[in-house]
Structure 1
C-alpha cells in the first residue's frame, strides 16, 4: 500500500507539473534565442545606418577642402598671382586688391562653417609665408603660433595627396590649455612638382556633437580613426579606444567581437571606411547589450518555473491526500460487492474523476444483465438477417428460370415466337436489369434501353393508345443515373393520365445537360390533375421522403423515385410535378453528374 501511495504521488506530481513546466521552459528558451537573433540583427542594421550617415555627414564637411583645391586648380591666374605675392618684398595697390580677393574666398567658408577653425594656404616660397583665415594678411611660419603643420607638410613623402593628423595647438602665448584640431592636408600642384598645400583645421567637438543624436543603443560608442591610427573623434567619455586598440580594430571583421587588452568587456565592432580621406568610422556596442533582453527573459522564465514548482507541489500534495481517500472508498465498494453485501448509495453529484469511476462501477453492476440480454438479441437478429440474405439470393434465380420456362412453353403451344413470348422476354430483361450489377446506378443509355422494354410490354396492352417520343443528344448517354428512374415516371403517365382519357395520347421524354446536372422531364397530355389533387400528391411525396417505413401511397412509383432521389442526392433533389386538368402532367428531376 505504501508503494502504491508513492506511485500515486509521483504520478500526480508529473501530471500537474510537466504540462506546466515544459511549455514555459520551451517558450522561454525559444523566445530568448529569437530575441537574441533579433537584437543582433537590429544592432547590425542600426550600426550600419549610423556609420553610413556619419560618413556622409563628415565627407560633406570635408568637401570644403575640395572646393578650395578646385578654386586654385581652375583659376591658374589666381594661383600664380598668390605665389608671386608671397615672394614680393613690398605690395603695390593692385597687389592688395588681389590679396583681398583670395582672402575673401578662404575667409568666407571659415566664417560660415562653425566646424572650421582655420584655413591655411601655403605655396612654396623663400620667405615661408602663407595666407590664413585667422589673420588679415600673410603670416610667416617661423613667427606664427601654429607652425606644426609646416613640419608635417615637409615630412610627408607618401604618394597620397590627402592626409590627416590630430594636433594640439596653443593659439597664443597666453593660452594655458591646448586646442585639439583635426588637420587635413591637401597638396596643391599645377605641374608635376608639388607647389604647396591647403591646410583645413576642424574642431573635433563639432564632429563629436554629430555622434550624440545617432547613438541610439545603450553604451554605443562611435569614433573615427585615421589611416595612421590616430583617434580623430570619439562620442564616448571613456578611455577607449587607445592607440593599441586603434591598431587592433583595423583587423577585426565587421560584426565580430573585440576583446581589449585593457580588460574592458567584449564589444561588437561595426565599421565603414572612407577611401578618399583614409578614415575608418567605428561603432562599438557592448556584448551585454545584445544579451540584456534575453537574460531578463531567462530570469523571468526561471522565476515562473520556481513559482510553478511551489504551486504545483502544494496542489499535488493536496490532491494526493484526496485521492488516497477516494481510492480507499473504491476498494471498500469492491470488497462489499465481492462479499455480496449492500453497496453504498452512489454520489448525488459527481465532482471529480474518482467519484465518477465509483459511480460508473455501481452503474455497471446494474446494467450487466441488461447488456447480456441486448447482446443475445443482436445475435438472434444477425441470424435472421443471414437467413433472409440467403433466401434473397434464391428468389431472382427462381424468377429468371420460371420466366424462361413460360417463354418456351408459349412457343411450344403456338409453334412460333409470338407477342406473349416477346412480353415475357421483355419482362425478363427488365427484371435482370433491376437485380444484376450495380444495385443503384446505371448509364443513361442502358436505362433508356430497358425502359423501352417496359414500353414494348405496355404497347401490347394499350395498342395505339399512346406513343412515346424521346428527345436527347447522344452526349448525355454516358452519364450515370439511378436505376429504374424513367420506368416509374412513364408508368405514372400511363395509369394516372393516359389510361382514363379517350383517344390517343403522347408521352415525351426530354433529357438535357445543364451545367453539372442532367435535367430529365416526362410530359404527357393525359387528363392531368386539379390543384387540390396536385397539392395532395406533393404532400404525399414529402411525407414519404421523411418516413422510414414502407411506401403506402397511391402514386407509389412517384413516391419511390422521389424518395430514392432525396436519399441519394439530398433534400434539394427530388421530383417536381406540374399539372393542369385536361391538359396533362409534367414530372421533372435533376441528376448531378
Structure 2
C-alpha cells in the first residue's frame, strides 16, 4: 500500500511540474529549430555570394591581361613582332618590356596565379611569364592545353588540368583561364593554382563545402571543407540541381553521405556555377547542448519529485499509524497524551487535536456504556437465581417505558433493553430444545446489535445462506459462541476493523456451518493447543469446548468443530450436520 501510494503521488506531482516544463521546452525548441533553419539558409546565401565575389576577383585579375593586350593595338603588334623575331623599334621594346613587367607583377602580387601564356596560331613560339620571354614549343613541357584550345569553339572558358612545367617535375593541379584573341588568331592563358584558390575562396566563409562546376557538369574545384568525398550519385544530384537552375539562383535541402545539407547554387563568370553547402548538424550543435542541459534539469526535477513523494507518503503513513494506534489504545482503555513526532505545522496540530478530541469523547462514552452494561449484567446475574423470569421481563419493559418517559423518544438505551429482553427470553428457555436456523440467526442479530453499540465499526458481520435452509432445525445457542469467539479473539486485537462471515450451505448430504473471520489468526502451535482444550475440556471450560461437546453428543464425532487458521490472516471454524439427522428432527 505504501509503494502504491508513493507511485501515485510521484506520478501526480511529476505530471503537475514536468508536463508544463516539457511543453514550454518543446515550443521553445521548435522555435529555435525553425530559426536555425532560417539561419542556415541565410548563411548559405551570404557565403555563396562571398565565394562568388572572391572567384570573380580572381577571374578579373586574369581577364586584365587580355584587356591590356587587346585594347591596345600597338602593344599587340609589338608583341607579335617580338614573337616573329622581327627587328623591334624603340617603342616596340618599351611596350614589350611593359608586358613582361606586368606579367611578373601579376604572378608576384597574386600568389594564386601560377603563370600567363600568350600564344599566336601558326608559330612555334610561346610567350610565358615563367621565362619572362619566348619559349620554343618543341622545348616547352606544358602543352596539354593545346587540345582544349584547338577543339573549343568558345571565346572564353575555364578548364581544370595538370600543369607540367618541366619534364622531370610533378604535375601541378591548376585551373586554366582561356581567352581567345580578337585581333589575331591566338589565345591568352592564365594558370591559377588550385590549392591557393581554395584557400582564397574558403576565407570568410562558413560553408562546409563548395564546388565550382562548369555548364557541362564538370567539377572544376572542390573546397577544403568538412564534407566527406562525394560519390558518383551525390555528384549527379548536384549536377542535376545545376542544370535545373537555368542561370538563376537555386537552393534546396539534399542528403549527402546520410547527412542533410542546404545547397545554394548561383551562376558565376565564364559559364560556371558555384554550389555552396552547409550541414544542418553543425548548426544543431547548440541544440544538442541545450537538450543536454534540459535533460539535466529534468533529471534534477525528477529526483526532487521522488524526494517530495517519499516525504509526503512517509508523513501520511506516520499519521495513519499514529491514529490507528490511538484508536486501538482507546478501545483497550489506554490513552497516550504524548505529542507525535510528525507534527510540523499548524495543519498537523489542528488535525491531531480533532482526532484526540474525538477519541477522548469516544473513550469516555465507551467507558460509561461499559460501566452501565457491567452494572446491569451484575444486577441480572445476582437476581437470576431468585427472581422469576416473568418478573425480570416486566422489569425490563418498565425500564424501557421509563427511558422513553425521560427522553421523550426511543434512544440507544431502549434498543439495548429491547434486544437484551429478547436474548434473556431466548436463552432462559429449554436449551435442549431444537429451534430453526431462522430463529437462531434472529437471536444472533440481536446479539450483534448490542455488540455494535460497544464496538461500532470495529467489525462487519456477513450472513451467507439460502432461504431454503432457514426452516432447518438446529440446536439452540450453537452459533452465538462461535461469533463471540471470532469477535473477542480474532477481530478485537486487530489495530483496525475486520470482517466476520457466517456461511451455511448444503453439500453432499451434509449441512455445513462455517464462521470465518479476518482477525489476528493463530500459529500452528496455538491451533494445536486450542484443539487440545476443546477435545479435553477442564473445569475452566471455554465456550468453544461447550459447543463442541454439545455437537458430539447430539450428532456424533463427525460433527465436531474443525479449526483452520493462519497467523495475521484469520481463522475459520466449521462443523457439519448429517442431512438425515436434519430430516429426522423435522419429522
> What's the TM-score, normalizing by structure 2?
0.51
Out of 155, 161, 174, which is 1:167 matched to? 161
CA distance in 2, matches of 1:331, 1:243: 80
Which whole-Å deviations, capped at 9, do the CAs of 1:506-546 have from their partners, x for residues lacking one? xxxxxxxxxxxxxxxxxxxxxxxxxxxxxxxxxxxxxxxxx
CA distance in 1, matches of 2:130, 2:175: 16
* Structure 1: 4+ residue segments shifted above 4 A: 5-8, 92-98, 252-255, 328-350, 359-365
Which residue pairs with 2:214 in the alignment? 226
Which residue pairs with 1:205 in the alignment? 195
The question of whether the paired residues in 1 share the 8 Å contact of 2:161 and 2:176 is answered with: yes
Describe the shift of the 1:223–1:214 C-alpha distance in structure 2 as closer, same or farther (beyond 3 A).
Answer: farther
Which residue pairs with 1:144 in the alignment? 140
The question of whether the paired residues in 1 share the 8 Å contact of 2:119 and 2:125 is answered with: yes
> What's the TM-score, normalizing by structure 1?
0.50
Which whole-Å deviations, capped at 9, do the CAs of 1:555-590 have from their partners, x for residues lacking one? xxxxxxxxxxxxxxxxxxxxxxxxxxxxxxxxxxxx
CA distance in 2, matches of 1:244, 1:183: 27
Q: Where in structure 2 are the equivalents of 1:99-498 lying within 5 Å? A: 99-124=96-121, 126-158=122-154, 161-175=155-169, 177-190=170-183, 195-216=185-206, 220-228=208-216, 229-236=218-225, 240-241=229-230, 245-252=234-241, 256-260=252-256, 264-329=257-322, 351-352=344-345, 355=348, 358=351, 361=354
User: What's the CA shift for 1:151?
Assistant: 1.6
User: What's the CA shift for 1:117?
Assistant: 0.8
The question of whether the paired residues in 2 share the 8 Å contact of 1:141 and 1:150 is answered with: no
The question of whether the paired residues in 2 share the 8 Å contact of 1:36 and 1:293 is answered with: no
User: What's the CA shift for 1:119?
Assistant: 0.9
The question of whether the paired residues in 2 share the 8 Å contact of 1:272 and 1:281 is answered with: yes
CA distance in 1, matches of 2:226, 2:298: 41
Q: Secondary structure at the match of 1:59?
A: helix
User: What's the CA shift for 1:170?
Assistant: 1.8
Which residue pairs with 1:47 in the alignment? 44
The question of whether the paired residues in 2 share the 8 Å contact of 1:65 and 1:186 is answered with: no
Structure 1 unmatched runs, 5+:
366-593
CA distance in 2, matches of 1:320, 1:84: 105
CA distance in 2, matches of 1:111, 1:308: 65
Structure 2 unmatched runs, 5+:
359-587
Which whole-Å deviations, capped at 9, do the CAs of 1:39-62 have from their partners, x for residues lacking one? 333333333322222221221122
CA distance in 2, matches of 1:108, 1:267: 44
Number of matched residues?
A: 349
User: What's the CA shift for 1:361?
Assistant: 4.2
The question of whether the paired residues in 2 share the 8 Å contact of 1:225 and 1:232 is answered with: yes
Which whole-Å deviations, capped at 9, do the CAs of 1:23-44 have from their partners, x for residues lacking one? 3422443343333333333333
Which whole-Å deviations, capped at 9, do the CAs of 1:119-165 have from their partners, x for residues lacking one? 112233x224332212232234343111122221111124xx32111
